[in-house]
Amino acid sequence: MSEELLAERQRTADRRDALVEVNGLKTYYEGGGLLSSTPVKAVDGVDFQIQHGETLGLVGESGCGKTTLGRTLVRLEEATDGEVLFDGEDITTFSGKTLKRWRRDAQIVFQDPESSLNDRMTVGEIIQEPLDVHDWPEFSVRVEGAGDRTVRVSGDGTPVEEDGTADIVVTLTGDSAQASVRDAIPLPDEQVSVSVDDAGDTVDVTVTVHVAKLRVRRAYVRQLLETVGLREEHFYRYPHQFSGGQRQRIGIARALALEPEFVVLDEPVSALDVSVQAKILNLLDDLQDEFGLTYLFIAHDLSVVRHICDRVAVMYLGHVMEIGDTEELFENPKNPYTYSLLSAIPDADPTVTRQRVTLRGTPPSPRDPPVGCPFSTRCPVKIRPEEYRDVDDGVWEGIELLREILRERERTDRSLGERARAALGMETRFSDIDEIRHEVFGDHDVPDEVRRHVEQAVEYVRDGDEARAREYMAEEFGSVCDEERPAHHPVSESGRTSFCHRHDAAYEEPEPVFDDLLANRSRSR
């Protein structure tokens, strides 16, 4: 299938009904640390959509920006650039009353139910707090049966905006009027009285609620406790009297209190025992069906993600590397980072002896990310310059490792060289460049055309010019992966995309390159 056709299908898939649409979103943390002038680029330009009622998983190594992204979507962090459209409106521009009103629609459940609940408040108070802040319920009123007449609402009711959900529906029939309260609100219809003054062109409707809001709120909190599998009598207890799973249920009840459309679940089960995890996941699933919720599900545990997410976004160093249908992505990852991440999961079938891709080192600092592809410093199938395509994999690995050590030495103080090498998985105690070279290339038979350039770079280091050595290595061995940001290429008919230069027609796709790499490795064992 041609790229054009795939791109067209991608656009069609995108036109489905999105609740959340993120365009070019960046969230940087300014200041702090030694390099205070350089911001931490926690989220560095991401684009994706979440459809109504969908669960989008967000995975990636620690520190890749998942939590920051989730918090930016619910405005707990301010976006540095880009937009977050929520039902078409850019929430990054909201302020004042508009922001406060919108906050009801987007909530977050935190990872750690230990620390996310205030231990000095009762469970009832914790769940009720957002209701108090928003003076819930509003007693919004819609009047039906008024025909062409102008309706004015007063008393305890406020007229509903446009076609929003009304708490109370007043139905006018002849001279009488009847109020019916929305199911979710624990307020019997008979506790609401309505008087109508029909003056021809105008109808004045006065709504009187005979129960104090606070009582309605309390009854609602009790209802919520049951919704999340707790009991009414838990209202007056304190969080420390509950188990981890129960505390997470409290956090979920609090998040649901204002009837949001969208919930960010930030590792909601990571801190829980495995037996409890399944129960909480089932609860979240049931709640999604019952309330039509849309989720962003942040997780480390890929098997959990596979189980519950419709689509998955794989993040690395502030970027979305691959995004698409969960089953497709797990079955047949297209991006080298996804491939590497998934290869780390043990296979459920012990008879399957799958080859694993072990990633070298740790991700670069988000203060100083690579200028090209964010994964370029660790990618096992990075594009090589034409003249080095046939160089032995072990030698190439040595070149990349040497480049990484030189970069790491730039970042860390020389006296911290040990730490740099430890980060790269090297157990050596030396700091001399000749020893490093020896360690990196080991017993490999390094061809002359490579040796020559490595020697030159080593010479620059000996002369104390490490910047020159880095530049020399980059000029000689660097490729498009080091120099240019990739595009998001469509990689399947369902609209999956992958952020990798290898999908350009000029290069070989990642998959066969991985196959060759792994086959060579097993041969050399």
Ligand X SMILES: Nc1ncnc2c1ncn2[C@@H]1O[C@H](COP(=O)(O)OP(=O)(O)OP(=O)(O)O)[C@@H](O)[C@H]1O
Kindly list the residues in this chain that would bind ligand X in the complex (CB under 6 A): 29, 32, 40, 42, 60, 62-68, 366
* Helix-strand-coil split of the chain, %, nearest 5: 40, 20, 40
- Smallest gap from residue 73 Cβ to ligand X (A): 12
Q: Is 291 exposed, middle or buried (0-12, 13-18, 19+ CB in 10 A)?
A: middle
| Shortest separation between residue 365's beta carbon and ligand X, angstroms | 7
CA angle, 241 then 246 then 250, to 5°:
95
For residue 269, the minimal CB distance to ligand X (Å) is 14
When the beta carbons of 319 and 384 are compared against ligand X, the nearer one is 319
Number of C-alpha atoms within 13 angstroms, CB side, residue 39?
A: 11
| Closer to ligand X by Cβ: residue 63 or 229 | 63
Strands 89-90 and 40-51: unpaired
Q: Which of 470, 496, 507 is nearest to 370 (CA)?
A: 470
User: What are the start-end ranges of the H helices in 235-335?
Assistant: 244-256, 274-291, 302-308, 326-331
Q: What DSSP character marks residue 481?
A: H
Closest distance of CB 28 from ligand X, Å: 9
**Consecutive H or E run containing 226:** helix 213-227
Determine the Cα–Cα distance for residues 301 and 76; give it in Å rounded to an integer: 24
Burial 188-224 (b: 16+ CB within 10 A, else e): eeeebebebeeeeeebebbbebeeebeebbbebbbeb
Tell the burial category of 175 from Cβ atoms under 10 Å away from its Cβ (0-12, 13-18, 19+).
exposed
Q: How far is the CB of 186 from ligand X (least distance, A)?
A: 37
Residue whose CB is less far from ligand X, 67 or 246 = 67
Q: Judging by beta carbons within 10 Å of its beta carbon (0-12, 13-18, 19+), is residue 17 exposed, middle or buried?
A: exposed
| CB 484 to ligand X: min, Å | 24
* Contact assessment for residue 358 and residue 397, using Cβ atoms and an 8 Å cutoff: no
Q: How far apart are CA 328 and CA 497, in angstroms?
A: 12
Taking the C-alpha atoms of residue 246 and residue 239, their distance in angstroms, rounded to an integer, is: 9
Residue nearer to ligand X on the CB measure, 40 or 177 = 40
Nearer to ligand X, 60 or 336 (CB): 60
For residue 64, give the nearest of 319, 342, 296, 305 by alpha carbon: 319
Q: Least distance in Å: CB of 300 to ligand X?
A: 6
Q: Which is nearer to ligand X, 48 or 472 (CB)?
A: 48
Q: Could you tell me how far CA 313 lies from the centroid of its own chain? A: 7
Closest contact distance (angstroms) between CB of 260 and ligand X is 21
Residue among 199, 157, 158, 195 at smallest CA distance from 178: 195
Contact residues for 470 (Cβ-Cβ < 8 A; gap 6+):
403, 406, 407, 410
Nearest to ligand X of 300, 521 (CB atom)? 300
Smallest gap from residue 164 Cβ to ligand X (A): 34
Q: How far is the CB of 121 from ligand X (least distance, A)?
A: 25
* 65/82 with CB nearer ligand X: 65
> Which residue's CB is nearer to ligand X, number 41 or number 502?
41
Compare residues 321 and 473 and give the one whose CB is closer to ligand X. 321
* DSSP secondary structure of 374-387: TTTTT-TTPPPPGG
Shorter beta-carbon distance to ligand X: residue 66 or 409: 66
- We find the least distance from the C-beta atom of residue 525 to ligand X, in angstroms, to be 33
Going along 102-243, which residue ranges are E strands? 106-109, 140-144, 150-155, 158-159, 168-173, 176-181, 192-199, 202-209
